[in-house]
Structure 1
């Protein structure tokens, strides 16, 4: 490059220096930025973690190497454990199944959840990162009291669970390290005299030891199961079996129940019963009992209820309402005999009596004046399922369905358009006692009190001031209402037109002979004006007059509010009208001239002049005047004939003026 200009030659080195300085500055700045985003160590924040785990006996290798990101994702949206993969899948990345014994078919159920059910993923005071040392870890899931009874297996005490069980998986059931018999014989040598003597010289090594022994602990000597048959305890095997030296050593000397009856008296087992349980009758004692030992009382092959449910599975179905006699105490044996009974269904007592042995309070209803027939006949199971039910009080079905099974005629009577809520919901026992009552129709209490139980707010109204309807005052609700249901609103016994007239019978003749009948009366709608229970107004009116009338006569109400009102119309409709019927039109209480004449003196000069000598007896005041309200000061009707409006009657009429 040619630098001919001297000035440029002098400036060029400076430019080179500035460029170099800029490059150096950018490089240093980049390094600084890089340092700002450099990852911190996890323990720079998780100091408590380091303090807690690094002092422990056993530390996970990746924790020791501070390789947290082998398991955890560095960033996350929520402050959680942010694992890279699900627990077990994550562990198996390093710990191959075959190396840790996870490749056998029978898997430890704890591993169906997570490895950390047993192991701490970071560090532990126990070997193999176990959360707790030895068998105490197993007791976290397996109840300790089942494994440390009065007599405990020595190997369990000294070597723990791992002496017999694999921790992860096994080819054998129950995670055993070897086949059951082989495992036991590893310690209990079959050739030794002590072993032979303990087993009556029978070749028990060909069988499974756990048939008679609990491998962990027992309340019995020799780790025998809880309930042991006397010949087993005394090693008197030949009481039932062939000689140990015979070809069929384990064969029995008798068949079926005959062998049992050598010791157990059949008559005693029947306890006077002539109805026999089918296994007992057929001599199949072993259907229910183990002939040697059992973890259940009386050598039963299963827990009492479970044993019964093996055959009677339908009785064991889970229900919403369970019978305590079934689920608690002796279970099925609370009510049933196991071998034979005097009563059907193998019951201990008569059907009713057995129920009363617990439900003594219910028995007292037998003394009631009126007793429900199934209950009086002690047929509790007519209504109740003795084993359990999905309905309240162990009813066989919804209460009303149970009732309709006998009271079939009632169903059509009760299922109406308007149903009493207890009937609609199927709760007959809201009002009726299903067992017995001193009241008629098995009512829980007198009808006057019964309705008040639910309708308290309504019944309270009867105590205040005002007018009570006689049946309401007497709390005789059934005078008007059907307690079950009706096709008429309000569950009343009949249409109002009929129902009300049963008491107010004098109205019937009046309705027939009067020219004018109020439409609510003719339509049988008494409650349009009257309260059927109580009112603060006279005659049980829903509101005082004229308000009660103006609810229907809205056009008159509007005019009274906006126009000049006729005083009687504004004060009380009954000043002019009858409320129910009248021989006069428009329900007037008397002929219109007489009615108007009560307030207006027809003979008064001013009246005569205003009506230009027209005899009021010859005309209807309503021909010209509106009896309720008008925009006109004289209450004239809205549309007036012009001569009439100008009082020029002579234009049309022959008028004699005074």
Structure 2
């Protein structure tokens, strides 16, 4: 009754029963912690909890629905932080911004929920910095005291700064905030020079050093000895940092130019121009011998084209000595600042190559004359074996006449891909062609599967003798299969008897006439006699497809189903249609032509004048007597008299 009343009320008010029932239901809101029970244990007990987390206002950052946690954030990256933490307050509007912040990765340093470290850092003190920055440069033998005591934040801002390297203030002012330039020890250490006017990092490493006074790893001896006046005006001069001489003249007071040349006559351009500071720092450096940049990077500053990633790099370039493996820094005896001429420089390391070349019966001229850089790029290359360019383009520079001859319809794959050195040794070989191996021993390196004959199949004589070049051109050809000549000519060179017989034949098989021997025969090997590609009638029917369809759908003549060669010759014949014998004789081998029934059925016509295929289809027919599909009506009725006079 109550249900009925509810229905009546719902109908009278225009509310459906479903809506009425839905009105009774309600949702009670649950907090995120009700499901994420581990969250309380993992975060809310930490010393420093994000205020919105402490107040359980998860939806300040997260969307309430979804499956993938990282997609539940209202915004991506740092954008979710900026509604509360303005970019201006963080210093992100400054000239220099911490790369982690700039990339939208606040969580690299901060835990978004809670941490036991101040500012909800993921690690304490400077350890947070070492998550990204290598610790080694900051932990050498002598560490800057302020880093020991206060860590990185003593000098650097965490997010952004108008100063370089996120410094808290101007570099010079920052140093002088701790180091009093008026202090007696300070003045004495710097020879009374007003160094407070210059950048401290010219000589000192601001973080750590293996040397005393935080001097950088490589120190100019006057600096180490506090003898600034060896190069500069006196400390009391109006221009104390002015130089006593200009350019290399000053350097040559201590560094003998001839000694630096080392007997070299080809001078490095900066050395020749007296531009020592192009490569060397005058006071200290983090690099050996006061270089302004480490290793090859110094060279690449001028020789940028050498700073490339190669698929075939030269090992010395990437070694510890780098460019100096081959080049002298100041002067060399030969072009390119090399200590030795081109090839001899290379053979200092590649002595094994020199030995191998000496053993070759026919060495390549550039190899014997040690012209290594004619073919190889000494710095590296994107071509195999550090070649200066693709092998074929390199070879054509001297062998230009070959380029045109190789532009054929069919090109050997190594030639097509420009890989001459797959077959030829660039340094030389046993013969003038510099082949890596002779005959089929060379071919087998690529065609191993073809030349392997585990089942001992019948092999074509040239193939058996591994004399590939009897039939093939090694580079390119206008003929299929990269043949040395037209297939008919190539085959006739050995099978001349067949070629001679063709001239007197009445009928010739089309593949023979067209020189398409490989339509039926394998030129290499096969398990079948006569090097045939397949057995029996299957070989013939691969070309005679119309006959194949007819045989499949009609009554097949018995010899046809067994073997085509019962009636036909494979190459040529004195008879028509490649028959093995005259038509009537061939048919008479199976059909008794001398009996009365045969004579009666054929109106007494003499067999020697008959042409059986005039009436019969020799291969297949719908008719039991193999008559042709279309017959003259009287003939179909077996009545010759209406047309022929038959002698009694």
Tell me if both proteins adopt one fold, taking TM over 0.5 as the criterion.
yes
Once the two structures are superposed, what CA deviation does each residue of 1:152-202 show, in whole Å capped at 9, x if it has no partner?
111111121122222222232122222222222222221222112211222
Counterpart position of 1:57: 47
Q: Structure 1 pair 47/614, CA: closer, same or farther in 2 (3 Å)?
A: closer
Q: Structure 1 pair 619/339, CA: closer, same or farther in 2 (3 Å)?
A: same
Q: Per-residue deviation at 1:567?
A: 4.9
Counterpart position of 1:432: 424
Q: Does 1:256 align with 2:247?
A: yes
Question: How far apart, in 2, do the equivalents of 1:243 and 1:493 lie?
Answer: 87
Q: Structure 1 pair 501/216, CA: closer, same or farther in 2 (3 Å)?
A: same
Q: Per-residue deviation at 1:448?
A: 0.8
Counterpart position of 2:14: none
Q: Per-residue deviation at 1:645?
A: 7.3
Counterpart position of 1:144: 135
Q: Per-residue deviation at 1:127?
A: 2.1
Q: Does 1:518 align with 2:525?
A: no
Q: Does 1:370 align with 2:370?
A: no
1:230 to 200, 206, 221: 221
Counterpart position of 1:37: 27
Counterpart position of 2:445: 453
Counterpart position of 2:4: none
Counterpart position of 2:288: 297
Give the structure with higher Rg (CA).
1
Q: Does 1:177 align with 2:168?
A: yes
Question: How far apart, in 1, do the equivalents of 2:574 and 2:332 lie?
Answer: 84
Counterpart position of 1:402: 394
Of 69-78 and 111-120, deviating more is 69-78
Are the equivalent residues in 2 in contact too, given 1:649–1:655 (CA < 8 A)?
Answer: no
Counterpart position of 1:105: 95
1:187-586 alignment to 2 at 5 Å? 187-366=178-357, 367-438=359-430, 441-460=433-452, 462-557=453-548, 567-586=558-577
Once the two structures are superposed, what CA deviation does each residue of 1:461-502 show, in whole Å capped at 9, x if it has no partner?
x45354321111122222212222223222222222222112
Q: Per-residue deviation at 1:301?
A: 0.9
Question: How far apart, in 2, do the equivalents of 1:267 and 1:317 lie?
Answer: 34
Of 113-122 and 290-299, deviating more is 113-122
Question: How far apart, in 2, do the equivalents of 1:654 and 1:56 lie?
Answer: 126
Q: Per-residue deviation at 1:418?
A: 2.3
Provide structure 2 residue ranges, at least 5 long, that are not aligned to the other structure.
1-8, 10-19
Are the equivalent residues in 1 in contact too, given 2:202–2:284 (CA < 8 A)?
Answer: yes
Of 412-421 and 497-506, deviating more is 412-421
Question: How far apart, in 2, do the equivalents of 1:134 and 1:347 lie?
Answer: 51
Are the equivalent residues in 2 in contact too, given 1:149–1:218 (CA < 8 A)?
Answer: yes
Are the equivalent residues in 1 in contact too, given 2:634–2:642 (CA < 8 A)?
Answer: no
Counterpart position of 2:6: none
Once the two structures are superposed, what CA deviation does each residue of 1:106-155 show, in whole Å capped at 9, x if it has no partner?
22222212333222233222222222222122222221111110111111
Provide structure 1 residue ranges, at least 5 long, that are not aligned to the other structure.
1-18, 20-29
1:84 to 46, 56, 74: 74
Once the two structures are superposed, what CA deviation does each residue of 1:253-288 show, in whole Å capped at 9, x if it has no partner?
333222222222222222222111111112221111
Question: How far apart, in 2, do the equivalents of 1:237 and 1:456 lie?
Answer: 75
- TM-score by length of structure 1 reads 0.85
Are the equivalent residues in 1 in contact too, given 2:360–2:428 (CA < 8 A)?
Answer: yes
Q: Structure 1 pair 337/554, CA: closer, same or farther in 2 (3 Å)?
A: same
Of 599-608 and 183-192, deviating more is 599-608
Q: Structure 1 pair 512/130, CA: closer, same or farther in 2 (3 Å)?
A: same
Q: Structure 1 pair 612/36, CA: closer, same or farther in 2 (3 Å)?
A: closer
SS at match of 1:272: coil
Q: Structure 1 pair 620/233, CA: closer, same or farther in 2 (3 Å)?
A: same
SS at match of 1:238: helix
